[in-house]
Amino acid sequence: MSVIAPKFKLSEFIKSLLDNVFWIILLLVLVGLPAVFMILFVIELPVINGELLTPFLALTWLADPSRILPVVKAFMGTDIFRVMAFPGFGFAALLAAGTIFVERKMLAKLQLRVGPFYCGKFEGILQLMGDGLKLISKEIIIPAKADKPIFWAAPVLFVAAAAAFVAFIPVAPGWVVTDVDLGLLGVFAVIGFFPIITILSAWSANSKFPFIGGIRALFQMVSFEIPLILSLLGVVMLTGSLNLSEIAASQSVFPWIVFLPVGAIVFFITMLAELERIPFDLPEAESEIVAGWLTELSGMLYGLVQLGTYLKLYAFAGLFVVLFLGGWNGPMIVPQFPAEILANGITMGPVTLNPPGLPLFTQEMLNGTLMFILKTAGVIFFILLPRGVFPRIRVDMLLNLGWGKLIGLAFVNIFIALGLLYAGVLGPGGLQ
Amino acid sequence: MADAVFLALAVITIGSAIAALEMRSLIYGSIALMGTLGGVAGFFFLLDAPFVALFQIAVYVGSIAVLILFTVMLVKRELIFKKIEDKRRKFAGIGLMLVFMVALGAVFLDSGIKTITTDEPAPDFRDIGIDFVTYYWPALILMGLILAGSVTGSLVLARREDVENDQRAN
């Protein structure tokens, strides 16, 4: 009979734990705290509630849980929180993980299968975590004649480019990582990096299936970038702005899809092609070329590429919502923060808790986020749906569609936008 | 701050340009070329022209560099390139470059560009667009015609007669 650890002794185990605790405390005292205080000399500390946040004040507040909210609020205003947690990477990765799970379950239901079921008691809800742990713990195998630097760098660059794409998407009024004037142009610039990373990754593996897949991906992405950019010009003409927040805010009365359905359809189809989703999944055609340009990637490198793919999917869906479906605009359904808590605090028996810094989020922000998530989930659903329905199309049909039909339709969309503008329906003197 | 960024960008741009010329591997050479083009985009950012910078990234890094990369990957380079190792040519080239750079630098410094100081805000891209369709419209039309002509020309040149249409089913 095999056991996992044959020479296991509880006393040894406890001793090793105590050893670790000892070394952690020692290093923290001798290295960690001096380092923290040296850093605190250099950085500028924020002013919270009219008081300069010195380290002593911060420690005082940490000891008093009722005064922690202003600190949390100040932290949520910083750039690092925006980049890492809320409108940026963490939020997008959470949505991406949800997308993967929903895709697997929904596809299974469409095909009369069960899908992930056993992992985590209820409907396989822990399957993703298991897959993630599996990918992290697997060995990374690099082909013998691969170009190692590029092979290692390409998945990381892929995630980085996807995260840069996510950074442009405004989630709620004022909640966006980079609120730049030329946000849409920035999006175009970031989209341009994906084919480069794909072809470099495919070439560096030095194997024929990745190379075929990479060349297909390059064909597909480069030729669908043109209708992608052209189909968004109509929105830019009607809004007169390239700032994505301004574009979202301009749709408070009606979304642009009402006036530009052609552009929305063209953008949706090009989106499917840029994301390499069925029916345009030629670069990863698993029945022809194993896994396309992902064939030689293993372990966490494959996991990173998958993460990047789903981040990109979220970002494209978010872009569709911002440009055509009105972004965060929608009916106000989140209730207002109860006024008596603000005035009197929370009474629990003899204790009254009246923490400063409430409410943590404004009503507009919560409602906007909710609306944005609902709309994005709808768009993601429509991106996932063709996978259960359509077969894969041939590469010549794909290029014919991209160059022949979609570019023409994108120009039709531009002329519709110009017509609306010059007829006075929209723009100055018109509806908006 | 701006000076440090300028120096870093200059080092990146010139260094990757030299690397693009001197690398033995053509793939790494084209990656270095991407670095050069990205560095130029950084200069545009530094000059308060984000519109031009983003187009530099979208068009040059995103499309032209991909085109070069793609061509390099598909071509068997041993068949078309012959290595010519010639010390004298190399030094002559470097000398010519230095002469050009000194001459251009002298012209620039002599033109009084260092005495210009301005606090004007960067021009809005909307103004550029309005200028294009009002005052500079002949230039725009001319550019459009040249582009259309070159696209048509390349299509004519690239047209192959040996592809039979009946092999393709619609």
pLDDT at position A311, please?
92
Query: Closest Cα partner for A325 from A213, A248, A237?
Result: A248
The distance of A68 to chain B (nearest Cα, Å) reads: 36
Residues A379-416 have pLDDT tens digits of 999 998 888 888 888 888 888 888 888 999 999 999 99
Residues 6+ apart with CB under 8 A from A336: A363
B133 pLDDT more than 70: yes
pLDDT for residue B33 is more than 70: yes
What is the predicted pLDDT for the residue at B50? 83
Domain locations along chain B: 1-80, 124-159
- Considering only residues A131 and A426, tell me which one the structure prediction assigns the higher pLDDT: A131
Q: Which of A402, A380, A367 is nearest to A319 (CA)?
A: A380
Q: Which of A170, A224, A227 is nearest to A194 (CA)?
A: A224
Query: Can you give the pLDDT at residue B163?
Result: 57
At A430 the pLDDT is: 57
Q: Please tell me the predicted confidence (pLDDT) of residue B99.
A: 94
| Helical H segments across B47-136, by residue range | 50-55, 65-74, 77-80, 87-110, 125-133
How much is the CA Rg of chain B, to the nearest whole Å?
22
CB contact (8 A) between residue B62 and residue A189: yes
Structure tokens at B11: 């080092």
Average confidence score pLDDT of chain A: 84
Rounded average pLDDT over A193-217: 87
Supply the DSSP string of B3-35, one letter for each residue: HHHHHHHHHHHHHHHHHHHH-SSHHHHHHHHHH
Does A70 have pLDDT greater than 60? yes
Contacts of B73 (CB under 8 A, 6+ apart): A199, A203, B27
Rounded Cα distance, A83 and A231, in Å: 29
Question: In the prediction, which pLDDT does B61 show?
Answer: 85
pLDDT greater than 70 at residue A65? no
* DSSP-derived 3-state class of residue A346: strand
Mean pLDDT in residue range B92-110: 89
B70 CB neighbours in chain A (<8 A) are 199, 215, 218
Q: What CA dihedral angle connects A33, A34, A38 and A43, to 10 degrees?
A: 0
Residues from chain A that touch B57, judged by Cβ atoms under 8 A, are 189, 192
Cβ neighbourhood burial of A102 (10 Å; 0-12, 13-18, 19+): middle
pLDDT at A200: 87
What single-letter amino acid sits at A211? F
DSSP characters over A212-255: HHHHHHHHHHHHHHHHHHHHHHHHHHHHT---HHHHHHTTSSS-
Distance CA A180, CA A160 (A): 19
Hey, of A165, A181, A196, A398, which one would you mutate to test binding to chain B, going by the most B CBs within 10 A of its CB?
A196
All residues at 6 or more sequence positions from B69 whose CB lies less than 8 Å from its CB, including other chains: A196, A199, A200, B27, B30, B31
SS3 assignment, position A177: coil
Decide if A270 contacts A187 (C-beta within 8 A).
no
* CA distance readout (Å), B12 to A183, A196, B33, B38, B54: 25, 20, 11, 9, 18
- What's the confidence (pLDDT) of residue A367? 86
Give the residue, A249 or A44, on which the prediction is more confident. A249
Whether the per-residue pLDDT at A3 is higher than 70: the answer is no
Q: What is the pLDDT of residue A295?
A: 86
Strand partners, A251: none
Segment B93-122 shows an average pLDDT of: 83
Q: What is the DSSP string of A78-120?
A: SHHHHHHTSSSHHHHHHHHHHHHHHHHHHHHHHTT---S-STT
What was the pLDDT predicted at B165?
A: 58
Task: Say whether B70 and A199 touch across the interface (CB within 8 A).
Answer: yes
Domain B1-80 top-level CATH class: mainly alpha
How many residues belong to chain A? 432
Instruction: Report d(CA A308, CA A302) in Å as an integer.
Output: 10
Chain A CB contacts of B125 under 8 Å are 181-182, 242
**Average of per-residue pLDDT across B5-27:** 86
Q: ipTM higher than 0.85?
A: no
**For helices A183-191 and A208-239, angle between their N-to-C axes, nearest 10 degrees:** 170
* Measured distance CA(A318)–CA(A175) in Å, rounded: 13
Q: Using one digit for the tens of pLDDT, what is the confidence trace for A100-109?
A: 888 888 888 8
C-alpha distance from residue A405 to each of A265, A273, A412, B105 (Å): 12, 14, 11, 50
b (16+ CB within 10 A) / e for A118-142: eeeeeebebbbeebbeebeeeeeeb
Nearest CA of chain B to the CA of A193: how many Å? 6
Q: What pLDDT band is residue A181 in, cutting at 50, 70 and 90? A: confident
What pLDDT is recorded for position A317?
93
Confidence band, pLDDT 50/70/90 cuts, at residue B25: confident
Per-residue pLDDT for B67 more than 80? Answer: yes
pLDDT of amino acid A50 = 72
Q: Give the percent of chain A with pLDDT over 70.
A: 96
pLDDT tens for each residue of A127-163: 888 888 888 888 888 888 888 888 899 999 999 999 9
Instruction: List pLDDT tens digits, range A295-319.
Output: 888 888 898 998 999 999 999 999 9
**Cβ-Cβ contacts under 8 Å, B63 against chain A:** 192, 222, 225
Residue in A65, A85, A64 with CA at minimum distance from that of residue A75 = A85
- What integer pLDDT is reported at residue A427 of this predicted model? 65
Pair A206, A147: CB distance under 8 Å = yes
pLDDT at B22: 80
Statement: residue A429 has pLDDT above 70? no
